[in-house]
Amino acid sequence: MKCIAKDSALVPNTDLLVVFAFAGAPPMLPPSVKLPKPFASAVRGEFREIRHTDAAQGPSPRVLVLGLGKPAEFDVERLRRVSALAVQRAESLECANAVLWTSKALISAVKGGRNAGAALAEGASLGAYRFQTHKSKPKNVKLQRVTLCGEGSDFAAGVERGLVYAAATAFARDLQNQPANFMRPRDMAAAAQQLARRGAGVRCRVLGAPQIRKLGMGALLGVAAGSQEPPQLIHLTYTPKGRSRGRVALVGKGLTFDTGGISIKPAGKMWDMKYDMSGGAAVLGVFHALAELGCPFEVHGVVPCSENMPDGRAVKPGDMVRAMNGTTIEVLNTDAEGRLILCDALSYVTARIKPDAIVDLATLTGAVVVALGHEYSGIMTRSDALRDELLSAGEAVAERLWPLPLAEHHRDLMRGEVADLKNIALGDPGAGASQGAAFLWHFVGDTPWAHLDIAGTAWGASNRDYVGGPMGSGVGVRLLLRWLETRRG
């Protein structure tokens, strides 16, 4: 499906014209369109209310009216959602094309054309997302073109930006949704290489097992020891065209399947652990968009990739591994593997890249799901500035974050008996998400750093029309893009 922007004064002829209505007000219509009176007066304008009729007059034989709810409750997130609903209805009505028409009033309700265009484009594009790679009879969708009509010089720019955000998110979703036998560490590495071929300004280096060993990444190697698949360390670099406003590093957990290892998980829902690479998918998704957005920062994306499998060669509970920075770690539970592959990635980033800020994303703990559920990702950081920047980016794109504590005593819980650290705390002190973050804290030195635990939000959030449901959500991509777009260097 192709999505384009047009000025709202120029409504093209179409199979389906979509217009919007606030609660208690008549539908907002282009001047040439007339709706049958009884239909128009039946529209109540409740949020997500959806009705269609034949038009009495205008550029389309059929008009769909979508409810926006009360003006005071209306925001960009509602606009994303109704845009997705409109496209999904256009698909089920088997239209070849559709026009979504927005009035001046609607655009000012979201504070301008840029916001409106971006929200409409994200909603339309992500609402039409499908993963059909492995369907022997993929659903044949007739809808070819969606035209977004709006006013103002920045409306078209907003649409363009929304489409770039959506394409990057869809790229991440595709990686997430692949079964783990199609998305092995080497497949993630290939996807990263493909990004470097596609976008100007993006380079990719993939380190294989021999190089990982040479760097002394014993924690990553330990997790991979039980698998037939060698680990991979992806390092993507984006260099801006002009002067750089600073250097940031994004780190993502790329665990392509988590059985738990010798500390094996129960069988129920173990299939969901193909999504344990969602943090890595988000980082790759970001690199899909950086060049197109003209990002002014030098951005590094580091994704350690591995499977976590039980085997005769696998690390056993109590075994000791040595991380790249020399820290020794007792692996008391082989299912707490995310922090092990990430600690080597974080050591690498701090020692080799020396960024101004690090953000890591990981499906790290079941505990964050208990604490926050599926609508909020946990954010744990010692930097108030990073926390505030990321919280407001999350609010803007409706990928919401909620702070969880990260204190010295969490850090102390992770100190080891035999070795420097242990990968789980003893004595069941609770605060599992903070423990995971505290373990990682030992590897970032003084670099400002934020850890996002996306175990609850990477899949399985409640359906919000363009996002949520049982498949991969692509969470993190729009959040980080927005953060990079609004961050002051």
Residues in touch with ligand BES (CB under 6 A): 258, 276, 333, 335-338, 363-367, 369, 424, 432, 455
At residue 128, φ and ψ (nearest 5 deg) are -95, 0
Separation between Cα atoms, residue 251 and residue 220, nearest integer Å: 14
In this complex, which beta carbon is closest to ligand BES, that of residue 394 or of residue 432? 432
Pick one of Zn ion, ligand BES, none as the site partner of residue 455 (Cβ within 5 to 8 A by kind).
ligand BES
Separation between Cα atoms, residue 418 and residue 263, nearest integer Å: 20
Residue 453, interface with Zn ion (CB under 5 A)?
Answer: no
In this complex, which beta carbon is closest to Zn ion, that of residue 335 or of residue 399? 335
Token pair listed for 164:
């770039």
Which residues in 260-279 contact Zn ion (CB under 5 A)?
276
Least separation in angstroms between CB 337 and ligand BES: 5
Please write down the HEC assignment for all residues of 461-477. Answer: CCCCCCCCCCCECCCCH
Binder of Zn ion out of 258, 298, 344, 360 (CB under 5 A): 258
In this complex, which beta carbon is closest to Zn ion, that of residue 158 or of residue 338? 338
Pick one of ligand BES, Zn ion, none as the site partner of residue 401 (Cβ within 5 to 8 A by kind).
none
Least separation in angstroms between CB 423 and ligand BES: 8
In this complex, which beta carbon is closest to ligand BES, that of residue 122 or of residue 276? 276
Catalytic residue at 265? yes
Least separation in angstroms between CB 455 and ligand BES: 4
Residue 338, interface with Zn ion (CB under 5 A)?
Answer: yes
Where do we find the tokens 């007000």?
Answer: 25
Pick one of Zn ion, ligand BES, none as the site partner of residue 12 (Cβ within 5 to 8 A by kind).
none
Measured at the CA of 10, the angle between CA 7 and CA 13, to 5 degrees, comes to: 125
Quick note: the x/- pattern for Zn ion over 214-253, rule CB under 5 A, is ----------------------------------------
Pick one of Zn ion, ligand BES, none as the site partner of residue 424 (Cβ within 5 to 8 A by kind).
ligand BES
Separation between Cα atoms, residue 94 and residue 262, nearest integer Å: 51
Binder of Zn ion out of 151, 307, 335, 389 (CB under 5 A): 335
CA neighbor of 152 nearest in space, from 113, 191, 181, 118:
113
Pick one of ligand BES, Zn ion, none as the site partner of residue 115 (Cβ within 5 to 8 A by kind).
none
Pick one of ligand BES, Zn ion, none as the site partner of residue 367 (Cβ within 5 to 8 A by kind).
ligand BES
Catalytic residue at 354? no
In this complex, which beta carbon is closest to ligand BES, that of residue 60 or of residue 365? 365
Least separation in angstroms between CB 370 and ligand BES: 9
Q: Say how many CA atoms lie within 13 Å of 24 toward its Cβ.
A: 3
| Stretch of 69-77, 199-207, 328-336, 365-373 contacting Zn ion, by CB under 5 A | 328-336
Least separation in angstroms between CB 329 and Zn ion: 15
In this complex, which beta carbon is closest to ligand BES, that of residue 194 or of residue 333? 333
Q: From the candidates 265, 352, 387, 411, give the one annotated as an active-site residue.
A: 265
Q: From the candidates 78, 274, 339, 464, give the one annotated as an active-site residue.
A: 339
In this complex, which beta carbon is closest to Zn ion, that of residue 3 or of residue 341? 341
Strand partners, 7: 150
Pick one of ligand BES, Zn ion, none as the site partner of residue 383 (Cβ within 5 to 8 A by kind).
none
Which residues in 274-313 contact Zn ion (CB under 5 A)?
276
Question: In the chain, how long is the greatest CA-to-CA distance?
Answer: 80
Pick one of ligand BES, Zn ion, none as the site partner of residue 343 (Cβ within 5 to 8 A by kind).
none
Residues near 22 by beta carbon (within 8 Å), at least 6 away in sequence? 28, 45, 68, 69, 70, 71, 74, 105
108: left (phi over 0), alpha (psi -120 to 50) or beta: alpha
Pick one of ligand BES, Zn ion, none as the site partner of residue 333 (Cβ within 5 to 8 A by kind).
ligand BES
In this complex, which beta carbon is closest to ligand BES, that of residue 166 or of residue 425? 425
Q: Cα–chain-centroid distance for residue 15? A: 33
Least separation in angstroms between CB 173 and ligand BES: 17
In this complex, which beta carbon is closest to ligand BES, that of residue 274 or of residue 487? 274
Least separation in angstroms between CB 403 and ligand BES: 19
Which residues are designated catalytic? Answer: 265, 339
Q: Which residues bind Zn ion (CB under 5 A)?
A: 255, 258, 276, 335, 337-338
